Amino acid sequence: MASQSASPWRNVLSGVCFGAALTAAGMYSPSTIIGQMHLTNFHMMKGFLAASASSALAILLGQSLNLTSCKPRTPAALSFSLPLLRSPYDGNLLGGLLIGFGMALAGACPGTVLPQVATGVTTGVPVLFGTLVGGILYSLFKPILQGKPDEAKQKEDAFSKPTAYEQAGISRNTGLVLYEGLCVATIIAAVGLFPQNSPSLLSPVLGGLVIGGTQFVTLFLTGTTLGISSAYEQIGDLFWWSAKSLAIGDISNNATALRPTVRGTAFAFGTLAGSWVLSQLVDLPLPQETIDVNASQAVLGGILLVVGARIAGGCTSGHGISGMSMLSVASMVSVLGMFAGGMGLVALHNALK
């Protein structure tokens, strides 16, 4: 089994593979992401489902080879109760909605913003700036948002039975077969009904399969599953750690020993590098930038993406590719919130025009 305490270079290398795959699949274009929220472009959905379905098989293989001991994601319950919503999944739903708002505003996800920057997409830099601000803000308010859930929430079956197959009372293999069948059927329907795709090096389905393959690479190298939003939280933690160290004048060995981890950040840098290297090696089809996203909208969207992802305990890659592939109910609620939030914001905007 790969050690999670291994060199951060393993995280960088796995990030390189993920970044190259994400770029080849063409799922980073703002028009592709916003078009999905408008239900006018289904490139993202095809690739997303193919990545999640193949990721499920990659995790199953990784576990059978003893490469990982990863567990299904449990609810990201808030430390307080939301009005009209007392559920262990409240953090997943709230965070998912915020991610969806950010996707609709910025045309990006916490992962896709890195290929956008690497390939020179106009909105990439302001969205990235927003994600960094979001990481700093979340790190500051983390003690409030990530406190211990109340006892009533902790007693819910959602924690002891985090997966859909456990809650349905069926075996994992049966649940996995049903999930794979649902993904394949939905992909076939989407390809048949919406054949048009965004410009990309690989078709969305093939690109999604390649992204799912990087799940196995990540398990082999790091023993952990794909997920990138923790990188922004770590950057926020490093920001406040540095500020505190400078304020008290303590840059001693003791302060260094307390430095926050940078493994997620290493993966993010690898993702950026992998995308850039691929863009230098091959002629990538230019992404369609037919939807106008101004700088302030991009920054706000970036902030919402990261704050939402950390409240939910994951983003489109952590929940959508990794969490759903392990049939985590919390991940399913998060992804449902993402698309409901994005599509809902688009519908509201159209209604107010």
What does the angle CA 134 – CA 298 – CA 347 come to, to the nearest 5 degrees? 105
Residue 2 domain-assigned (yes or no): no
pLDDT over 90 percentage in the chain: 75
Residues of the chain with pLDDT under 50: 254
Cβ 55 vs Cβ 212: under 8 Å = yes
pLDDT at site 256: 52
Domain that holds residue 40: 8-77+85-352
Residue 320 domain-assigned (yes or no): yes
Cβ 223 vs Cβ 69: under 8 Å = yes
Number of domains in the chain: 1
Global pTM value: 0.92
pLDDT at site 287: 73
Residue 57: burial class (beta carbons within 10 Å; 0-12, 13-18, 19+): middle
pLDDT at site 270: 98
pLDDT at site 92: 95
Residue 179 domain-assigned (yes or no): yes
Cβ 157 vs Cβ 329: under 8 Å = no
CA 351/CA 335 separation, integer angstroms: 24
pLDDT at site 151: 61
pLDDT at site 293: 85
Residue 27 domain-assigned (yes or no): yes
Residue 258 domain-assigned (yes or no): yes
Residue whose C-alpha is closest to residue 29's, from 118, 112, 130 = 112
Residue 3 domain-assigned (yes or no): no
Residue 1 domain-assigned (yes or no): no
pLDDT at site 165: 96
Residue 242 domain-assigned (yes or no): yes
Cβ 227 vs Cβ 314: under 8 Å = yes
pLDDT at site 80: 74
pLDDT at site 352: 86
